[in-house]
Amino acid sequence: PHAIHLKDYRPPEFLIDAVDLRFDLDPERTTVEAKLALRRNPAATRGDGDLRLHGEQLDLERIAVNGHPLTPSEYEVHQEGLTLHRVPDQFGLETRVRIHPSLNTALEGLYQSGEMLCTQCEAEGFRRITYFLDRPDVMATYSTTLVADKRRFPVLLSNGNPVESRDLDGGRHLMRWEDPFPKPSYLFALIAGDLKAVEDSFSTASGREVALKIYVEPHNLDKCDHAMRSLKKAMRWDEERFGREYDLDIFMIVAVSHFNMGAMENKGLNVFNDKFVLARPDTATDVDFDGIESVIAHEYFHNWTGNRITCRDWFQLSLKEGFTVYRDQEFSADVGSRGVKRIGDVRLLRAHQLPEDEGPLAHPVRPDSYIEINNFYTATVYQKGAEVVRMQANLLGPELFRKATDLYFERHDGQAVTTDDFVRCMEDASGRDLEQFRLWYQQAGTPELSVQEAFDADSGRYSLSVRQHTPPTPGQPLKEPFHIPIAVGLLGQDGEDLPLQLEGDTTPSAPGTRVLELTNSEQSFTFVGLEAKPVPSLLRGFPAPVKLKTEASDDDLLFLMAHDSDGFNRWDAAQTLMQRLLLALVDDAEAELPERFFAAFEQALMDAQSDKALLAEVLTPPSEGYLGDQMAVVDVDGIHRAHSVLGRRVGERLRDALLEVYRANDGSEPYAFMPDDVGRRALKNLALGYLAKAGDAEALAAAQAQFEAARNMTDVMAALRLLVDHGGEAGTRALDHFYGRWSGEPLVVDKWLSVQATSPREDTLERVIALMGHADFSLRNPNRVRSLIGAFCNANQVRFHASDGRGYRFLADRVLELNPLNPQIAARLLKAMVRWRRFDAGRQALMRAEIARILDAEALSADVYEVASKALG
């Protein structure tokens, strides 16, 4: 496998203006006829005159230019596609190929999922459907005719608007779809199946009626209400917040059960992993409801950020993904609780992106090279990309940012563009120079900030000296300083915000938050007019994807936790404090926990005024994985022990308060996915969790009762987890009962698999291995793989990283099994081992050996090869 470099980008030599496709659909053998209107690209430098089309795993049956079949000397079929020699400047190309959906286990191109046929073309799957210029800067209009057996496939869908429907001989039927908006091939989709739709409609701001349809297998029709509500909310929000209206007469969502990622934004026909569509209170948790709302919004928002304006090449992936994640985060913040949303997003960034940024797979938001683009749908491109957009939005402020996005939509509608084009719109609309800011797209790695404070009581001057340093990443040994916005507040002794008067300010400023712009590697900011040394509240709201090396005392952290007007920083102070306690317990499991910690914890718990969801976040300790990231060498067992000790001591020490909170917040029937209810459930289950860690008999009885009585899956799962982790008969009985009740619902069975895979019990790996033999498990279904194998390797640090290396061997075996079946999923799983250098010598050797074993295997996919070779590189 070889690397592709951004610096080698050239415009395509040919363009395709219009595509006419006809599919004769059959799972075993589908025929695809394509008519392409091609012309030379006037903007490209002339090459050798040949036309090179992408194509993989296609059996070519016919090829003609302008209606004349070609002779074998006029073209060449090879591994990567088809080359036509000496073609005219403008011509029509006709091809007919045969493909085999039922054999397609990679789930890229046209494949079979259960009884239906569906497609996934991003990033480079269209070339498995027909010969084409399968690159995003080739945009065409599509007309698609679908023919299939009417009984087996009564529903036939594709992009755009339906224009023809009729029956054919032999029990077959035909549907034709036309998409008037030029699009790249990765946005093509088709669906054929025996599906039913939940229907609704939406009136756009300009008064057009749009038909909305969510297609599912008939038995799932009762699980679509939340998805439909989410879709309508997202459509309205995009009109109000970004001025974006939907553009076709119909918008469709289809839920499929075999899917490599979360969902796909194909024009007018979004295809979803069913996990992100189907929900009923008794089958889905609050986390699931939340995920559905944001993924539905995300895919819908792509209609403008991705589809109407797309990427010039795959290095620009964050142009659409970073911006669209920013948009879905803002949507969720607006329709839910902004503070809680921000905490969740930063938790996610710290759990996935920061580790990625300091490991062997670190890459810039706009990568310079890749071997397999499927490996670059990463936390850096998505989550850090969103932070980079957020920083620009905050630097410009709401009015100028809206002016800049309006300009972007107007200037680039119908084009395939770059992240640089995006930043230029920010500059042109605001008049700001963002040259240095562009480094956020170009340099990998997380800047580390250290801050020194100095207070001069005589002059009332208080200064913050800030340094930034970004460690080297693969291929980038030296870094330039970033342009970093730093939002700060200063708290007085009474806990109130002080006015933030910077030296040299001509007008007095109000108390609150002020954004300092760090552009040098070292810079000082001096505030004046202070009567006493304030307590600084740094990086309010997490204004930039950086790591702060804080030197705040425990007293200051407790003070911030109690008083900071910024909810995010109250949470962050609590996290830092708990992190310190946990790391002290890693060193010495018998270490005393300070009295004031329990007092602060109890005070927060009993504060009747506070937002319960926020409180649950504040009182949730950093995860075992995150604690490992804070250590020079991850102490797997010490961290697990420390986590248990802290939980137990809180559970014992604050028993009464926790029981009171549990009882006061129990019983939120009937279920509603409303912020207050979600917060109440989160808080009571957190309280129950602490009590269970202490082995409290009353708590375990409450968990049992909750498991039996609850009608909503959030409470059932919280109780089931506690029973399983506690072990014994009760855990086994609960698991059996749960499976008996839900064996017909694969997405609920996934929860049953995950709760077992993530249990810290000592026999978990044996159980996972046994569950791989369960009738409901299949390596061919990515949801099953993620729920069992992915959960074990990524969310069970203490068992996956067991010092005997059996977890590593287990993962490597699965990667090798999946490599020929589904390389995308195989490569993703392997990422659980790439940060092997962070562990002790014994574990390092074991992981390295397993990665080397994978690299030695024959017929390694480009996906797995890239991850494994970079991991050892």
- Pick one of 213, 267, 298, 726: the residue that binds ligand HT7 (CB under 6 A): 298
Q: Please state the closest distance from residue 86 (CB atom) to Zn ion, in A.
A: 40
Nearer to Zn ion, 274 or 299 (CB): 299
- 863 lies in the binding site for ligand HT7 (CB under 6 A): no
Distance CA 656, CA 649 (A): 13
φ/ψ of residue 335, rounded to 5: -90, -10
Q: Please state the closest distance from residue 782 (CB atom) to ligand HT7, in A.
A: 9
Q: How are beta strands 547-549 and 448-456 bridged, if at all?
A: parallel
Segment 107-111 long-range contacts (CB within 8 Å, at least 24 positions apart)? 107/258, 107/259, 107/260, 107/782, 107/822, 107/824, 108/260, 108/824, 109/56, 109/57, 110/30, 110/190, 111/258
Distances (CA, A) of 207 to 40, 204, 642: 40, 5, 59
Span of 31-39, 80-88, 261-269, 542-550 interacting with ligand HT7 by CB under 6 A: 261-269
* x-or-dash string of contact with ligand HT7, 551-590, rule CB under 6 A: ----------------------------------------
Distance CA 751, CA 707 (A): 14
* x-or-dash string of contact with ligand HT7, 118-157, rule CB under 6 A: --x-xx----------------------------------
Q: Which of residues 318-337 bind ligand HT7 (CB under 6 A)?
A: 321
Scanning 694-712, the segments in alpha helix (DSSP H) are 697-709
Size of interface with Zn ion, in residues (CB under 5 A): 2
Q: Please state the closest distance from residue 107 (CB atom) to ligand HT7, in A.
A: 7
Binding-site partner at residue 424 among ligand HT7, Zn ion, none, CB < 5 to 8 Å by type? none
Binding-site partner at residue 557 among Zn ion, ligand HT7, none, CB < 5 to 8 Å by type? none
Nearest alpha carbon to residue 539 among 356, 349, 290, 328:
349
Nearer to ligand HT7, 299 or 330 (CB): 299
Nearer to ligand HT7, 296 or 395 (CB): 296
Size of interface with ligand HT7, in residues (CB under 6 A): 13
- 372 lies in the binding site for ligand HT7 (CB under 6 A): no
Q: Please state the closest distance from residue 260 (CB atom) to ligand HT7, in A.
A: 4
- 261 lies in the binding site for ligand HT7 (CB under 6 A): yes
- 313 lies in the binding site for ligand HT7 (CB under 6 A): no
> How far from chain centre, in Å, is Cα 290?
13
Nearer to ligand HT7, 106 or 716 (CB): 106
Binding-site partner at residue 578 among Zn ion, ligand HT7, none, CB < 5 to 8 Å by type? none
Nearer to ligand HT7, 387 or 696 (CB): 387
- 260 lies in the binding site for ligand HT7 (CB under 6 A): yes
Q: Which of residues 631-670 bind ligand HT7 (CB under 6 A)?
A: none
Residues 6+ apart with CB under 8 A from 831: 361, 867
Distance CA 544, CA 789 (A): 33
Residues 6+ apart with CB under 8 A from 615: 604, 605, 607, 679, 683
Span of 211-219, 295-303, 480-488, 673-681 interacting with ligand HT7 by CB under 6 A: 295-303
Q: Identify whether the C-beta of residue 794 lies closer than 8 Å to the C-beta of residue 832.
A: yes
Q: Please state the closest distance from residue 118 (CB atom) to ligand HT7, in A.
A: 11
Q: Please state the closest distance from residue 580 (CB atom) to ligand HT7, in A.
A: 37
Q: Which helix (H) or strand (E) holds 59?
A: strand 59-65
Nearer to ligand HT7, 262 or 625 (CB): 262
Nearest alpha carbon to residue 14 among 62, 60, 48, 55:
48
- Pick one of 56, 179, 274, 299: the residue that binds ligand HT7 (CB under 6 A): 299
Nearer to ligand HT7, 187 or 574 (CB): 187
What residue type is assigned to position 821 of the chain?
L
Binding-site partner at residue 396 among ligand HT7, Zn ion, none, CB < 5 to 8 Å by type? none
Nearest alpha carbon to residue 302 among 421, 160, 187, 385:
187
* x-or-dash string of contact with ligand HT7, 172-201, rule CB under 6 A: ------------------------------
Q: Please state the closest distance from residue 283 (CB atom) to ligand HT7, in A.
A: 23
Q: Which of residues 696-755 bind ligand HT7 (CB under 6 A)?
A: none
Residues 6+ apart with CB under 8 A from 149: 26, 171, 172
Q: Please state the closest distance from residue 298 (CB atom) to ligand HT7, in A.
A: 6
Q: Please state the closest distance from residue 824 (CB atom) to ligand HT7, in A.
A: 7
Q: Please state the closest distance from residue 329 (CB atom) to Zn ion, in A.
A: 12
Binding-site partner at residue 784 among ligand HT7, Zn ion, none, CB < 5 to 8 Å by type? none
Binding-site partner at residue 745 among ligand HT7, Zn ion, none, CB < 5 to 8 Å by type? none
Active site (catalytic) residues: 299
Nearer to ligand HT7, 266 or 513 (CB): 266
φ/ψ of residue 553, rounded to 5: -75, 165
Distance CA 623, CA 745 (A): 30
Distances (CA, A) of 348 to 344, 352, 354, 539, 699: 6, 6, 9, 17, 30
Q: Please state the closest distance from residue 10 (CB atom) to ligand HT7, in A.
A: 24
Nearer to ligand HT7, 270 or 473 (CB): 270
* Helical pair 419-430 and 398-412, crossing angle rounded to 10 deg: 130
Dihedral over Cα of 809, 792, 578, 360: its sign:
positive
Span of 256-264, 403-411, 451-459, 793-801 interacting with ligand HT7 by CB under 6 A: 256-264
Segment 57-62 long-range contacts (CB within 8 Å, at least 24 positions apart)? 57/99, 57/109, 57/128, 58/97, 58/98, 58/99, 58/128, 58/130, 58/131, 59/97, 59/98, 59/99, 60/95, 60/96, 60/97, 60/131, 61/31, 61/96, 61/97, 61/98, 62/94, 62/95, 62/96
Q: Which residue has its beta carbon closest to ligand HT7?
A: 261
Q: Please state the closest distance from residue 321 (CB atom) to ligand HT7, in A.
A: 5
Q: Please state the closest distance from residue 128 (CB atom) to ligand HT7, in A.
A: 13
Dihedral over Cα of 335, 340, 345, 348: its sign:
negative
Nearer to ligand HT7, 263 or 615 (CB): 263
Binding-site partner at residue 264 among Zn ion, ligand HT7, none, CB < 5 to 8 Å by type? ligand HT7
Scanning 743-794, the segments in alpha helix (DSSP H) are 746-757, 764-772, 782-785, 791-794
Nearer to ligand HT7, 20 or 866 (CB): 866
- Pick one of 9, 91, 377, 739: the residue that binds ligand HT7 (CB under 6 A): 377
Biggest CA pair distance of the chain = 95
Nearest alpha carbon to residue 202 among 254, 166, 165, 238:
238
Q: Which of residues 309-338 bind Zn ion (CB under 5 A)?
A: 321, 324
Q: Which of residues 61-120 bind ligand HT7 (CB under 6 A)?
A: 120
Binding-site partner at residue 260 among Zn ion, ligand HT7, none, CB < 5 to 8 Å by type? ligand HT7
- Give the sheet arrangement for strand 547-549, strand by strand: 522-527, 461-469, 448-456, 547-549
- Under DSSP, the state recorded for 316 is G
Q: How are beta strands 14-24 and 140-149 bridged, if at all?
A: parallel
Structure tokens at 349: 């960034």
Binding-site partner at residue 261 among ligand HT7, Zn ion, none, CB < 5 to 8 Å by type? ligand HT7
> How far from chain centre, in Å, is Cα 731?
32
Q: Identify whether the C-beta of residue 666 lies closer than 8 Å to the C-beta of residue 684.
A: yes
> How far from chain centre, in Å, is Cα 539?
24
Distances (CA, A) of 245 to 203, 409, 667: 10, 12, 41
Q: Which residues bind ligand HT7 (CB under 6 A)?
A: 120, 122-123, 260-261, 263-265, 298-299, 302, 321, 377
Q: Which residues bind Zn ion (CB under 5 A)?
A: 321, 324
